[in-house]
Structure 1
Amino acid sequence: MSGSAAGRAFIGSFTSAGGPGIVVADIDPRTGALTRTGAVRSVPDPSYLAVGHGEAGPVLYAVSETVAGVVAAYDASGAVPRPLGEPVPVGGDEPTHLALAQGHLLTANYGSGSVSVLPLTAEGLPLPPSAVLHHEGSGPDPERQRSPHAHQVVPDPSGRWVLAVDLGTDSVQVCSLDERTGAMRPHGATALPPGTGPRHLAFHPSGDHAYVLGELRPTVTVCRWDAAAGVLRAIGETSLLPDSPDSPDSPDGADGQAQPSAPVVAPDGRYLWTAVRGPDTVVVLALDASGERAEPVTAVPCGGRRPRDLVLDPAGRRLYAANERSGEVTWLDVDHATGIPRPAGSLTVPAASSVAFG
């Protein structure tokens, strides 16, 4: 965890809850502090962001988490992102996440329980979907799991596969993506305990393990990942509420039930951090040398309320939490020896939802 953070941060927010759209902030290379330099509001509820590159430079992508979901692309080379063309419909409802893979932009569409594949031009502009893959199934929670709810989509470290985390069906779907045609095909699925409500996963830097975060049942499921076969296998589970492991659904914190939101793995593979809404904490877990055991170390305040996103800066020295309910992004300095983060400052961003660097 050495080096220095520098560059810019892009912060997504919910405009329907008073957010300013996409905020741009400079990062102090010494302290990691954020200073707002501008904002752009061209689509409603740009809740999740990703940064890629086109022929002319960096391109910022944003989902618009609305019933008729769209993605927007921006030229990110200037002081304020400039829209590149019109937003493109994703063919799904309420997209909550997006990722880049094999020359395509992928979106996880929570409302419709689907994953969309949008080809990218050489300039980085998204085209209409080449594929929309609909999930099937349900879970035991009558309010949250009546139907599929794809919450995250990510390429695996080998670049051969795409994994989609579905909160509604208690599963992680593994798919193949044809780089030439943009076709996506189901390959397999990993079932998690009923009622887990998986939200996001993060890979170990070795590429051999993944950690799946449950939103409805506050746990981390440790999985082995076989990139050669495209198989994800659950091998263990760790509670994120060590003080009450036998009652994971009990209220915890001022905002009610504990709901984990975002996992982050240290670049050296020693620690796993996850934000937990409700208690509004960052939980620290120590990973063993194999990556197969995750042991709770402690939980520290995230510095705000309802941390929806948690990311590590490019240098691996600080965590940034997007606190949706209290309306700020906090940065937390990570102790290299212990892995324990401590809040060090904040930037006001109403209804903050995600952070990306570029």
Structure 2
Amino acid sequence: MSAVRAFIGSFTSAGGCGIVTAAVDGRTGALTETGASDAVADPSFLALAASSGPARPVLYAVSETSEGAVAALDVSGGAPRLIGVPVPVCGAAPTHLALASDHLMTANYGSGSVSVLPLRPDGRASAASGVMHHEGAGPDPDRQRGPHAHQVLPDPSGRWVLSVDLGTDSVRICALDPGTGELNLHSETALRPGTGPRHLAFHPAGAHAYVLNELEPTLVVCRWDADAGVLEPVGEAAVAPQGTPRPVYPSEVVVSPDGRRLWTANRGQDAIAVLSLDETGERAELVATVPCGGRWPRDLTLDPSGRRLYAANEHSGDVTWFDVDPQTGVPRRAGSLDVPAASCVIFA
């Protein structure tokens, strides 16, 4: 496995350490904590600078607070170290961030918006150059009274930026203007009302995307046309067996590097679902579920080799790793690391 380190986010407001650095055993996948930093409040999601970025490794973290901010951290040493100070995102409760064209983008759940922040040569984020406010609502009176952007990410072609909104049951496709640092809305894909889309992941071939719903344990299979910038729903699949006690709140979706299978993390059920994908990538079918190794899996991540899954179990306070059966795709628990209020895992 090429990864030698993992970075783990955790909620400081719930007793978490902030950002934990861990060494990764290349043979077993085991994690060993090597440092931690509480310099960022509630760093619920993390991203690493691409290889074309700053010379030193830079880790980016959202601060999922009512004020909303992003921070850049130097991770060339042991514990992460702030570069400058956290920068406001002009949005509330950012839950996700991604990099594209020398810009950092955040999905702001509380304010239902997506912010764009240009990156400086040293890796720090500048003040927000643009904020795109989502509009709309959904039928759930508790969760969908207004927009709630939950994820933002570039498509595989690098031409488009997609934002997934739980409150409006939709995915927005935008173009990022690298000159002005603004997002321009290109199209919006409406999904079934009340499903509450949370995250999406692309098939490695790039022609399909899979939208995971939070308010209903289902996955929407979509065709993705990168030339036209069009996302078209073509089917749905369950991510929890029929009869599973509710509530079940899916949180994350991961696609295997070979495009043969897909996994989701299901909170409430506290399970990892295994779905098979047909050779076209257009049909998904639930084949198994296994315990997630803890409670309330907020995040699910593949290691760079594609042979292991890591679940960040928020309520039980651990990151549990699994060996993935190469034939069936079914994960088998292999170990865990205590991380109070764990929220996400990424690898370097």
TM-score normalized by structure 2? 0.98
1:10-37 per-residue CA deviation (whole Å, 9 max, x = no partner) reads 0000111100110000000100000001
Shift of 1:5: 5.1
1:36 pairs with one of 33, 41, 46: 33
Is contact 1:281–1:300 with CA below 8 Å preserved after alignment?
A: yes
Is contact 1:282–1:299 with CA below 8 Å preserved after alignment?
A: yes
- Determine whether 1:298 maps to 2:288: yes
Q: For 2:205 and 2:132, how far apart are their aligned partners in 1?
A: 29
Tell me the equivalent position of 1:323. 313
How do 1:66-77 and structure 2 match up within 5 A? 66-77=65-76
Q: For 2:216 and 2:248, how far apart are their aligned partners in 1?
A: 8
What secondary structure, in the 3-state scheme, does the structure 1 residue paired with 2:49 have? strand
- Residue 225 of structure 2 aligns with an amino acid whose one-letter code is D
What secondary structure, in the 3-state scheme, does the structure 1 residue paired with 2:195 have? coil
Tell me the equivalent position of 2:143. 144
Q: For 2:118 and 2:315, how far apart are their aligned partners in 1?
A: 34
Q: What is the identity percentage for the equivalent residue pairs of Structure 1 and Structure 2?
A: 68
Q: For 2:54 and 2:189, how far apart are their aligned partners in 1?
A: 37
2:4 pairs with one of 7, 28, 33: 7
Q: For 2:128 and 2:305, how far apart are their aligned partners in 1?
A: 34
Tell me the equivalent position of 1:94. 93
Tell me the equivalent position of 1:19. 16
Tell me the equivalent position of 1:348. 338
What secondary structure, in the 3-state scheme, does the structure 1 residue paired with 2:337 have? strand
Shift of 1:239: 1.2
Shift of 1:180: 2.0
What secondary structure, in the 3-state scheme, does the structure 2 residue paired with 1:139 have? coil
Is contact 2:238–2:285 with CA below 8 Å preserved after alignment?
A: no
Q: For 1:164 and 1:31, how far apart are their aligned partners in 2?
A: 35
What secondary structure, in the 3-state scheme, does the structure 1 residue paired with 2:13 have? helix
Gaps of 5+ in 2: none
How do 1:149-164 and structure 2 match up within 5 A? 149-164=148-163
Tell me the equivalent position of 1:247. none
Is contact 2:21–2:34 with CA below 8 Å preserved after alignment?
A: yes
Gaps of 5+ in 1: 245-249
Tell me the equivalent position of 1:242. 241
What secondary structure, in the 3-state scheme, does the structure 2 residue paired with 1:311 have? strand
- Residue 297 of structure 1 aligns with an amino acid whose one-letter code is V
Q: For 1:336 and 1:57, how far apart are their aligned partners in 2?
A: 35
- Determine whether 1:287 maps to 2:302: no
Q: For 1:38 and 1:79, how far apart are their aligned partners in 2?
A: 6
Shift of 1:241: 2.2
Tell me the equivalent position of 2:228. 229
- Residue 136 of structure 1 aligns with an amino acid whose one-letter code is E
Q: For 2:234 and 2:303, how far apart are their aligned partners in 1?
A: 29
1:165-189 per-residue CA deviation (whole Å, 9 max, x = no partner) reads 0000000010000122211111101
How do 1:79-228 and structure 2 match up within 5 A? 79-228=78-227
Shift of 1:121: 1.3
Shift of 1:80: 1.4
Shift of 1:107: 0.1
Q: For 1:109 and 1:243, how far apart are their aligned partners in 2?
A: 33
Q: For 2:204 and 2:72, how far apart are their aligned partners in 1?
A: 29
Between stretches 76-85 and 320-329, larger displacement belongs to 76-85
What secondary structure, in the 3-state scheme, does the structure 2 residue paired with 1:211 have? strand
Tell me the equivalent position of 1:314. 304
Is contact 2:321–2:333 with CA below 8 Å preserved after alignment?
A: yes
Q: For 1:182 and 1:327, how far apart are their aligned partners in 2?
A: 38
1:49 pairs with one of 22, 46, 64: 46
| RMSD of equivalent CA atoms | 0.9
1:225-262 per-residue CA deviation (whole Å, 9 max, x = no partner) reads 00000000000001112323xxxxx843xxxx100000
Shift of 1:291: 0.2
What secondary structure, in the 3-state scheme, does the structure 2 residue paired with 1:57 have? coil
- Residue 305 of structure 1 aligns with an amino acid whose one-letter code is R
Is contact 1:220–1:237 with CA below 8 Å preserved after alignment?
A: yes
1:52-94 per-residue CA deviation (whole Å, 9 max, x = no partner) reads 1543321000000000000000011111111100100000000
Q: For 1:170 and 1:118, how far apart are their aligned partners in 2?
A: 26
What secondary structure, in the 3-state scheme, does the structure 2 residue paired with 1:16 have? helix
In the alignment of these two chains, the number of paired residues is 346
TM-score normalized by structure 1? 0.95
